Amino acid sequence: MKRFFSIDRDIVQRLGFSFLTIMAVVTVVPIISVVIYIIVQGGPAVSWEFISAMPHDGMRAGGILPAIIGTIYLTIGTAVFSVPLGIAAAIYLSEYAPDNRLTQLIRVAIINLAGIPSVVYGLFGLGLFVLFLKFGTSILAASLTLSIMTLPVIISASEEALRSVPQPFRTVSISLGGTRWQTIRRIVLPEALPGILTGVILGLERAAGETAPILFTGAAFFLPRLPGSVFDATMALPYHLFVISTQVPEMPIQIQYGTALVLIVFVLGMNIIATVVRSRARAKRQW
């Protein structure tokens, strides 16, 4: 009897293992197929001219330079507002805030903010930055809107990273005559930096790829020249992709996929930078 049982269990185990392997493969297949499909479809369209020239012939020819530049501007603009603010908020929550109801409420609010659909942020940005603060449809308004959307991601990830720094480091630093701020600046922040950076890049990546938040706040359908100030509207890769895929008749399909490819490379590129920076930081500390 005993033997049968153990064979049974063995089979069940193998079945379970195979099942999980299959599931893992199944989840990877669509991701890889999408990437391959876009490379195959869009690859031929991507050339030096494509990424360095202005569009012409109703965007059916030429390049997508203003959309690339616009996305870079928006990403930088988002970083300028959301990174310092997000890290500061995380430091406050992790290192200074008393553990009371108010702090818990703030945390819950941040978690829920991360779940709000991006189009809602777009509407909020339209109301607050474009209309009320009179920034107009502009890089400034769009960056601020994207910042608000990005903040919860940066705050949560940074707080998590700060909290994972062992408590005894802080106690020792204080016992050696360190102030709280000295302790944070010299020990806690450097230790948490790789985690913070991951959060920052994840957040900015999302901002770079979003259409809805910039739709009403800063994105332009077509501009004959590059934006000259933060109060100008701008073209941007995700919105441009939407425009040329749905709004322009007789659009050559390679241009659509070429644009998608550039967007993916941009976002994945940020991911790779994050990974490299993180592993460099690890290697440098040697533990």
Q: Which residues bind other proteins (CB under 8 A)?
A: 166, 168-169, 171-179, 182, 186-187, 190-191, 285-287
CB-based contacts of 48, cutoff 8 Å, min separation 6: none
Tokens of 130: 């474009």
Question: What is the smallest separation between the CB atom of 183 and other proteins, expressed in angstroms?
Answer: 9
The nearer residue to other proteins, 96 or 221, going by C-beta atoms, is 96
Amino acid identity of 233? A
Q: Distance between CA 164 and CA 260 in Å, rounded?
A: 37
Question: What is the smallest separation between the CB atom of 177 and other proteins, expressed in angstroms?
Answer: 4
User: Are the C-beta atoms of 263 and 68 separated by less than 8 Å?
Assistant: no
The nearer residue to other proteins, 186 or 280, going by C-beta atoms, is 186
Question: What is the smallest separation between the CB atom of 192 and other proteins, expressed in angstroms?
Answer: 11
Question: What is the smallest separation between the CB atom of 97 and other proteins, expressed in angstroms?
Answer: 15
Q: Distance between CA 110 and CA 126 in Å, rounded?
A: 21
CA 11-14-17 angle, to 5 degrees, is 150
HSE on the CB side for 171, CA within 13 Å? 3
Question: What is the smallest separation between the CB atom of 195 and other proteins, expressed in angstroms?
Answer: 14
Q: Which of 243, 246, 247, 225 is nearest to 234 (CA)?
A: 225
The nearer residue to other proteins, 65 or 97, going by C-beta atoms, is 97
Question: What is the smallest separation between the CB atom of 161 and other proteins, expressed in angstroms?
Answer: 14
State how far the alpha carbon of 133 is from the alpha carbons of 32, 48, 140, 235, in Å: 44, 40, 11, 22
Exposed (0-12), middle (13-18) or buried (19+): which is 202, by Cβ within 10 Å?
Answer: middle
The nearer residue to other proteins, 159 or 191, going by C-beta atoms, is 191
Question: What is the smallest separation between the CB atom of 186 and other proteins, expressed in angstroms?
Answer: 8
Residue 234: strand pairing partners: 219
